[in-house]
Structure 1
């Protein structure tokens, strides 16, 4: 099950009240013009800035704000609860009926994916609205018919306090809490004053894919038009991914699910047919093959010692409804839905499971943490998951260990209510590599060592974009784990690009945590409890001290909204826990709204060859544990040489700051940095 997000509360409170109009963000005109050259980006950056980092994918990303349009560009804006803040690169294009945005294909393509937002229904639940697609002014359907994508907001628009609601008119879910994302506020908290509704709209965007019916050439013009008949007052287009999809994969010698009664039209439920095909394949020592089609599956498919292949995730779609259970399950689930699950660890787990080449599309519209409505679940050892496309589930992949030796590669996970992937409890010797993740409702990738440590796992060369809550990549305790070569962009609130936290009851960090050669861009969000900005990377000692060998090497922190590096403890435990021995080496910091390093904890860290530029405030904001002793801060900064550059206040690591000068400015003014550029 998804862990409950218990966010710690410090002294003080913050009330944010928004109107529905504020959720739309600022808008500025964007002039239409002649055909423009295509601008290909990665996480809204020039690809040269992130070479060798993040997932290698078979599609090309183009931001709508770089395309030709007669709509308006909204943003940039990093203020949570606004449409620009949740857009890739913090900008998008807003269209009204009759308006368009037009992209020039940078390479041959026969398929597109559109990231978009449309309004919610007045009382929640979402609406559907059309978006017409033409290429070179002509329809792409049979006989030149204009293809129309059906957009929906049924899986977007959450409101209020954790765990959120679909009702924009709801009163506070927890009126005795501070207005935070916290589930642990003391009883003496002063009740919250009246709020403006809808309160804290969020999770605005969804994605939709479309096969164009033929291959178009580089230079052809893909136009997305909101037709005059649209019932959506506005449509926001964030970006277009274009792709050349190969032919369907065919497996002739296999247990074909059609032979066991599966319905590729999706009209009839196919769960039992899948079970029969799996049982036959195991006896006959065959693979299971799912040919092109849309298959209705409304419950878990239990997998063990089996290989299941689809024709490719554009062709084989496993789609399910969320089904209310007549009574809660033993694990307290109140719904079930489509998902491929290994047996749970307490039942022996599953092994030798290989899943590839299909899509899983769920029907999850609300966050209920006890529900097992994830795309992949259970415990899977000695297994592989490759080339899946997962959307509209609660968590794309949630593993409850112990389990070992699983490889998760080349998947696309989008539009989740909670995490994209979580290694929960005793997952070991496993790799998550070359996966693309966008629009999660919680951590993009997480390892959570609750009760039993995760160990010897690697998150490598993944792209994580726009988590609407929490972090891009989060490690909660564990032993000898690695986070390497990832690209993380645009976390929205209550989190960072990369996070290492002693929290949520996790086992302590032991051995070595290696954080290597990652790029984090436009990160460092505003923390509602503390009313301060976080860092692009954030280490947090809440439940216990962090004393492991943590080495952060080769990372790039670009255009950080607040700090680049933050080390912090909870006010209530600041004299109990510390963070010590962290080593930062060969780091590049290009742009911070405030400091390079913000220390709000006892302990210390060392810095070697940390180069910084465009720093908005004092380079080291050293508060220690806030006792302000005559001997200096309780946090020691060790200069191992080669720490160059700075910003408006001079060198970021000047000799006078060492080793523990108090330079504490709790909320320094934010200086928006210049856009990142080649070093």
Structure 2
């Protein structure tokens, strides 16, 4: 999403089929920074020479605590802080701009040269993903460093880690230069409590200013299948150039053999280079054109294919051998002159036709990886993994890495199914339904380390309608929200797992902002779990809720049902309803209904209301509440009649904290209880209800 200044955007060869079969068989056979450790560190629980039992987690939680929520994928997550190590556990810490805060579960393991962390496989695996951080170069631009991988003392492989896609600095849209001065001297800066450009003498803002986006991930095929109990050791060589290598987690999985399709149109037959040395974009285009004419599928066999521009797709099925085997990889390319859409770069991506030209239809993409080369955020650039408009289409089983946005769709368009993809390490959003995307579903995707909203429905100009975000796992969005809904009608957010948003956002946001159309009809937010959500809003100087309703540009008055959700280990509030102070007399939040909710741990309150309006509560149970149950400032008018936000108790609202029931009778319907900056009491870890 764009951010505001408050921080809060030809002819083929003949006889292709016989040749394809030969080439497929051949291709398948060939394929078969940190200068100081942050304060607050502690020694690891398992030391050198010890083996830790496999502790499988989901979003750094015991899986039973989030059963039925999140992506249904066969990936075993193991946190480094639970593994055997002679390194140092860093964290926990939820302070933005620190390495522990951006780690899954807010902890990680820091390794010096010569140290290791060792994971015990919980189940059979032939592939791993390592999430890590190494220091930036002193002047920015990243460094590289080795990491040795061994399994049971053998099969040594050296991964080449890089920080070239990490380490951003400064204010939105950020800088790659750690020594850059304040990018927006006309913006309010919390650190100096001033507007630098209007301050005499000019304030000294230390550099690097607001470092962030520390982590990256790499995948590795192990070459054979290993079994439960085998030990994967990640060791930093003694001569590593990285003073510290931070390991956050290891994912392991069994991906199996590459998929082959001898009857499809093989891009090798059209000149594609599986070594990645030559550009294969034109060959892919020729294969697609032939497949469209002959009504066949396109097959991308194992290999790495260099593609440095958009591949435009319409009425075609493109299948890879699997995202671990087929990699479409490109460089970011400078354009000689800006494109009509104001892009100044292009890069690898599969794009539907523009909606103004009718969009694309009947596109089916599956089984390959898209590896981009995006290292800076330029909002006008179309350097996304998937883009354009695609109706009556499916996207399944892709891995999208180092693009600006994993998938950004500009409607109007309808009937898109996005399933079982992994999107990681993006400069901006994970998936964004922008402008008139209807009757579409995003389900069973894993989205980690985005630089903006991980999942968004953005009804700018035309409303998104009847869309569903269901059973997705979102982890560590560095900026903004895990899931955001900006306007629209009859949309659903269900059974998702959202963990560890870092800055200026929440687990789930319902927002009237960014020029979105008003909310109409219904919005269902059902059966989701958030954990360690609700961040500190620098400009407001308050903590946000795990779910955040924000009436900035219009009233929020649709029928909104929040049912069956769990808000776990909330950094500040579980629920926040707010209108920005300059519009507090213009917009309200009404007709929100909470039912069958569990709140396990809040740093401050269960509900914080900083707007006019109303909400109902039924069977909302809370425990381990850090401050008062309800913080009800309303619109800050403090009238004799009470707060301008009314809470209605429909019964069954139980539990609370040291101050008694979280929803006490004396607070209803609109008693003023206004302290929106109480001391924060860190809640205990979530436990079975």
Pick the TM interval, shorter chain.
over 0.9
Are 2:454 and 1:456 aligned?
no
Are 2:62 and 1:52 aligned?
no
More divergent stretch after superposition (530-539 vs 31-40): 31-40
Contact 2:468 2:494 in 1 (8 A): yes
Number of equivalenced pairs: 660
For residue 27 of structure 1, the aligned residue among 41, 53, 60 is 41
TM-aligned CA deviation for residue 34 of structure 1: 2.0
Q: Deviations over 1:613-650 (max 9, x none)?
A: 00001100000000111111000000000000001211
TM-aligned CA deviation for residue 8 of structure 1: 3.7
Distance 1:670 1:462 in 2: 30
Are 2:88 and 1:88 aligned?
no
1:429 corresponding residue in structure 2: 439
Q: Deviations over 1:170-227 (max 9, x none)?
A: 111111211269xxx9997999721111000000000000011111111011100000
Aligned pairs (5 A) from 1:538-553: 538-553=548-563
Counterpart of 1:583 in 2: which secondary structure? strand
2:451 corresponding residue in structure 1: 441
Gaps of 5+ in 1: 11-18, 141-145
Counterpart of 2:71 in 1: which secondary structure? coil
Aligned pairs (5 A) from 1:458-473: 458-473=468-483
Distance 2:547 2:394 in 1: 30
Counterpart of 2:453 in 1: which secondary structure? coil
For the structure 1 residues 296 and 194, does the alpha-carbon distance in structure 2 shift closer, same or farther, using more than 3 Å as the test?
same
Counterpart of 2:282 in 1: which secondary structure? helix
Distance 1:228 1:644 in 2: 56
Are 2:509 and 1:531 aligned?
no
2:316 corresponding residue in structure 1: 306
Contact 1:72 1:94 in 2 (8 A): yes
2:131 corresponding residue in structure 1: 115
TM-aligned CA deviation for residue 245 of structure 1: 1.2
Q: Deviations over 1:427-462 (max 9, x none)?
A: 000000000010000000000000000000000000
Counterpart of 2:169 in 1: which secondary structure? coil
Contact 2:34 2:136 in 1 (8 A): no
TM-aligned CA deviation for residue 581 of structure 1: 1.1
TM-score relative to the length of structure 2: 0.94
Aligned pairs (5 A) from 1:281-296: 281-296=291-306
Aligned pairs (5 A) from 1:297-446: 297-446=307-456
Contact 2:34 2:134 in 1 (8 A): no
1:14 corresponding residue in structure 2: none
TM-score relative to the length of structure 1: 0.96
Runs ≥4 residues deviating over 6 A: 185-192
Q: Deviations over 1:519-557 (max 9, x none)?
A: 000001000110000000000000011010011000000
Distance 2:533 2:48 in 1: 31
Q: Deviations over 1:75-125 (max 9, x none)?
A: 000000000000000000000000000000000111111000000000000
Aligned pairs (5 A) from 1:253-292: 253-292=263-302
1:5 corresponding residue in structure 2: 3
For residue 81 of structure 2, the aligned residue among 53, 62, 65 is 65
Contact 2:35 2:135 in 1 (8 A): no
1:15 corresponding residue in structure 2: none
Contact 1:8 1:570 in 2 (8 A): no
Gaps of 5+ in 2: 9-32
How big is the alpha-carbon RMSD for the aligned residues of Structure 1 and Structure 2? 1.6
Contact 1:25 1:83 in 2 (8 A): no
For the structure 1 residues 651 and 291, does the alpha-carbon distance in structure 2 shift closer, same or farther, using more than 3 Å as the test?
same
TM-aligned CA deviation for residue 137 of structure 1: 1.2
2:27 corresponding residue in structure 1: none
Are 2:604 and 1:594 aligned?
yes
For the structure 1 residues 331 and 23, does the alpha-carbon distance in structure 2 shift closer, same or farther, using more than 3 Å as the test?
farther
2:245 corresponding residue in structure 1: 235
For the structure 1 residues 9 and 363, does the alpha-carbon distance in structure 2 shift closer, same or farther, using more than 3 Å as the test?
closer
2:53 corresponding residue in structure 1: 37
Distance 2:611 2:390 in 1: 39
For the structure 1 residues 665 and 20, does the alpha-carbon distance in structure 2 shift closer, same or farther, using more than 3 Å as the test?
farther
